[in-house]
């Protein structure tokens, strides 16, 4: 029996994000293409009599509240309750990704915790059951259960897995600011809340060029109005040699740029670090199909 396991909670990247409407309860409807990196937060799970959570890593100091309020702890508790067990676990979250950054940090952490504990506790629950638990934790959590690209609709509950026919190196940049999602949606509303027409189909996401020409992040302008550093990051990425697409992820403030290979992305990332030493910068590659 395995008594310890480490799982990766990769960064979630919105290759596009279209806001198509708003429900009566205030939740916005969206269409988005989620993709994931190989790197991310690391969650180590060990069998223990009770549930506990310790947060370490470069961004651990950003957490000042009670560990029981963290989405990782809530995910563990929700899984134990759904399975009808009293199992415990010693959980260590190594926080490598910035928080409130538009790359699904908390959602990815919660999803990875569900996957890891399902294995550690030998529950054997299918992902369809994990999805139901995940949806109760947050709109992005179900999609983050998988590391394969997902076409996401509704408020995050409608998932269609995709296999990208192209590969890309990626550079993620955060200008060192936390940007709250409610603040961005408030700016979006104040700007007139222009909703996008629903896509006729999931294609043509068969190339980066198509992705560039036929999509956008509908929250980008609102985020820039709420946080000037977002525009600074975007302009820095758009001016790079070899960039195929530069865009904001989620509600920001993290922005990304796609390149032909991971090697090119790593070279570019080092140049950005040298020019902006206060920024968080990560070079990686997008996963084009599931590794689970």
pLDDT in tens, 250-273: 999 999 999 999 999 999 999 999
Q: Which two three-digit tokens encode residue 152?
A: 């996401």
- Three-state DSSP at 18 gives strand
pLDDT in tens, 86-118: 989 999 999 999 998 999 999 999 999 999 999
Which pLDDT belongs to residue 130? 97
Contacts with 204 (C-beta within 8 Å, 6 or more apart), sequence order: 210, 214
Q: Give the helix ranges, DSSP H, for 153-201.
A: 181-190
pLDDT in tens, 33-60: 999 999 999 999 999 999 999 999 999 9
252: left (phi over 0), alpha (psi -120 to 50) or beta: left
Contact 262, 169 (CB under 8 A): yes
Model pLDDT, residue 75: 98
pLDDT recorded at residue 191: 83
Active site residue 12: yes
User: What is residue 80's three-state secondary structure?
Assistant: helix
Sheet holding 280-285, edge to edge: 245-248, 255-259, 169-174, 280-285
- Closest Cα to residue 116, out of 39, 35, 43, 36? 43
Quick check: is 140 catalytic? yes
Domains annotated for the chain, with CATH where assigned, are: 4-161 (3.30.230.10), 169-285 (3.30.70.890)
- Mean of the pLDDT values across residues 262-288? 95
Query: Which of 41, 109, 140, 147 does the annotation list as catalytic?
Result: 140
Beta strands in 138-214 (DSSP E): 150-154, 158-161, 169-174
Three-state secondary structure call for residue 156: coil
**Strand ranges inside the chain, DSSP E:** 4-22, 28-48, 51-56, 88-94, 150-154, 158-161, 169-174, 245-248, 255-259, 280-285
Query: What rounded mean pLDDT belongs to the chain?
Result: 92
pLDDT tens track for 115-154: 999 999 999 999 999 999 999 999 899 999 988 899 999 9
Give the H or E element holding residue 82: helix 71-83
pLDDT of residue 67: 84
Say if residue 156's pLDDT is above 90: no
Stated pTM of the model: 0.93
Distances (CA, A) of 42 to 39, 57, 97, 132, 169: 9, 9, 10, 23, 21
Task: Give the pLDDT score at 194.
Answer: 82
């Amino acid at each position: 029996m395995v008594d310890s396991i480490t799982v990766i909670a990769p960064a979630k990247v919105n290759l596009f994000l279209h806001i198509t409407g708003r429900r009566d309860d205030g939740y916005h409807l969206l269409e988005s293409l989620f993709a994931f990196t190989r790197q991310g937060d690391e969650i180590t799970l060990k069998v223990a009599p009770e549930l506990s959570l310790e947060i370490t890593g470069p961004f651990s100091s950003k957490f000042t509240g009670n560990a029981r309020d963290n989405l990782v702890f809530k995910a563990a508790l929700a899984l134990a309750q759904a399975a009808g067990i009293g199992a415990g676990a010693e959980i260590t979250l190594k926080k490598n990704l910035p928080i409130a950054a538009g790359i699904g940090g908390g959602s990815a952490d919660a999803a990875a915790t569900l996957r890891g504990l399902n294995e550690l506790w030998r529950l054997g629950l299918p992902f369809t059951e994990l999805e139901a638990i995940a949806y109760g934790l947050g709109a992005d959590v179900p999609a983050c259960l998988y590391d394969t690209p997902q076409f996401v609709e509704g408020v995050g509950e409608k998932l269609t897995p995709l296999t990208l026919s192209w590969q890309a190196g990626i550079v993620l940049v955060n200008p060192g600011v936390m940007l709250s999602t409610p603040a961005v949606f408030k700016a979006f509303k104040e700007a007139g809340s222009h909703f996008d027409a629903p896509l006729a189909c999931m294609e043509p996401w068969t190339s980066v060029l198509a992705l560039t020409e036929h999509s956008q992040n509908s929250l980008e302008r609102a985020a820039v109005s709420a946080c000037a550093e977002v525009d600074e990051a975007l302009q820095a990425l758009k001016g790079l040699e070899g960039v195929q697409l530069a865009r904001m992820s989620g509600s920001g403030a993290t922005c990304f740029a796609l390149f032909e290979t991971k090697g090119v992305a790593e070279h570019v990332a080092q140049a950005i670090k040298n020019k902006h030493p206060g920024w968080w910068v990560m070079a990686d590659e997008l996963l084009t199909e599931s590794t689970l």
